[in-house]
Amino acid sequence: MPTRRFPRRFPRWLPAAAAVAVAAWGANQFTALATVYRARTDWSALSLAAMFSVYLVGLVPGLLLGRPAADRYGRRRVVRGALVLSAAASAVLAATDEPAVYLARLATGFAAGLVFLAGTAWLRELSGPSVPTAAPARRAMYATGVGFSAGALASGVLAEWLPDPTVLPALAHALCCLLVLRATRRLPETAPGTTLGTAPGTTLGTAPGTTPGAMLTTTPGAAPGRRAEPGDAHRSAVRHPRFRYVVLPASPAVLGSATVAYVVLPPLVADRVPGYAPLFGGLVAALTLGTGVLAQPFAARLDDHGSARATLTAMATVIAGLLVGALAASRDSVALVVAAAVVLGAGYGLTLGAGLHEVERLTPPAKGPSPGSGPSSASLYQSTTSSGFLTPLLLAGTAGHASYPTLLTGMAAVGLLCLAVTAAHSRRHLPGPDHVAHPGGRRGEDSSVESTTESATESATAGATPPPTPSTMQLAPTDPRSRRPWAE
């Protein structure tokens, strides 16, 4: 039966954005629930950190498989299937049984990875070919950011003031998944090979005259008309020396900074907010991730194709946030935890945005029109940033040997070493003419949390991070004044 058109009183891309947001909600609802588990169960801090981190085991396969699955089976089928899986995972989470929580977190991660890739591509294509390049990217970025923030905040509010604080928040998310599933039932398929109200020979989301499936890049500010990398082009990016010496040293800081802010620090001052620990944890998470979303456009402004200025600034911000966090843990200060959340949130947004721009530059333009069948270079980069989800587990495992102020200060010292490596290669290993997507140009002022599938993220909470589209954006010449000594 042919799919009916979505009612025109709403933008056609809105339900796709809601799917991205509700997937991010599910990914981050555990933040506030962990506080309840800590108070109501005998689970150790190490077990709770492992429950949080097992999400990564599901997320990475979801990110790597999201693009090829969406290309093969269609965006609609993959996103709707992932929503069903996310709802089922939250229903299992409501059981409040230790093995069930591990299973729920694993399934939630896999569903989120699929939606972050397939959903953001669907959103971009549903936005239509006449929409400016940056608009769908902003929609995906804000959908991811709102979802991550709402997940922690809504769970904190429900756990704080309603009965059954470990059950109702999870069931509320499951209900939201089902509502979004219903809202997407009339959305059309936009994968290559289908058409809907576009020029002859084109696919929704592609420019007229473009071969269906040869997706435009989705990172805001991308070079006009650049295609997604087909075949093995993404390997060229991750094998490039600049990826190893500039991008990779900063990648754990993307989600490492965020998780320190809203997973590690709030429980350390829980005794200072008696009776409001779940709400406080949710508020800190929302503040961290909201700051990250607002900071991402500044990464685009700092970006310089001739140096690693944006990455260096981002890493310095994360280091500063870790030191504020160490001071907060030492003084048992709620105000300093909030301050650390703001600084670390800014570091999260800047590192994610800077890394996506670097990876985009390292990805060579498509040599031909055939679409890629594997994961994009952006999704591979997002997989490396996901290592930051292990930070709470690492700190919980070593907390018996050193205090949290000492551990956070040690993390800052490791960050300084990574900063030194990146600074030493800031102007080295620059991509050649076959890679540079923006010769002599500066980026636009928007950046995607989760650059999207087809680079067709993410993306984002990031994004962590999260994420993503056909007219072009004019690029201004590089301003020589932007090359400051402090960035070299």
Percent of the chain with pLDDT over 90: 41
* pLDDT given for residue 407 in this prediction: 96
* Of the listed ranges 113-117, 336-340, 358-362, the one predicted with least confidence: 358-362
The domains found in the chain, sorted by start residue, are 14-193+217-473 (1.20.1250.20)
Q: What is the mean pLDDT of the segment spanning 34-52?
A: 89
* Of the listed ranges 63-72, 113-122, 235-244, 341-350, the one predicted with least confidence: 235-244
pLDDT band for 303, please (50, 70, 90 cuts): confident
Chain-wide mean pLDDT for the chain? 77
Task: For 145-192, write each residue's pLDDT tens digit.
Answer: 889 888 889 999 999 888 889 999 999 999 999 999 999 998 999 877
Q: Rounded to two decimals, what is the model's pTM?
A: 0.75
pLDDT band for 40, please (50, 70, 90 cuts): confident
Phi and psi torsions of 53, nearest 5°: -75, -25
More confident residue, 141 or 267: 267
Q: Which amino acid is at 328?
A: A
Has residue 286 got a pLDDT over 80?
yes
More confident residue, 112 or 214: 112
Task: For 195-217, write each residue's pLDDT tens digit.
Answer: 343 333 333 433 333 323 333 33
Task: For 11-37, write each residue's pLDDT tens digit.
Answer: 889 999 999 999 999 998 998 898 889
* pLDDT given for residue 413 in this prediction: 96
Has residue 383 got a pLDDT over 80?
no
More confident residue, 213 or 411: 411
Task: For 415-428, write each residue's pLDDT tens digit.
Answer: 999 999 999 987 87
Q: What is the mean pLDDT of the segment spanning 359-377?
A: 60
* pLDDT given for residue 458 in this prediction: 39
More confident residue, 379 or 121: 121
More confident residue, 50 or 6: 50
pLDDT band for 64, please (50, 70, 90 cuts): confident
* pLDDT given for residue 396 in this prediction: 92
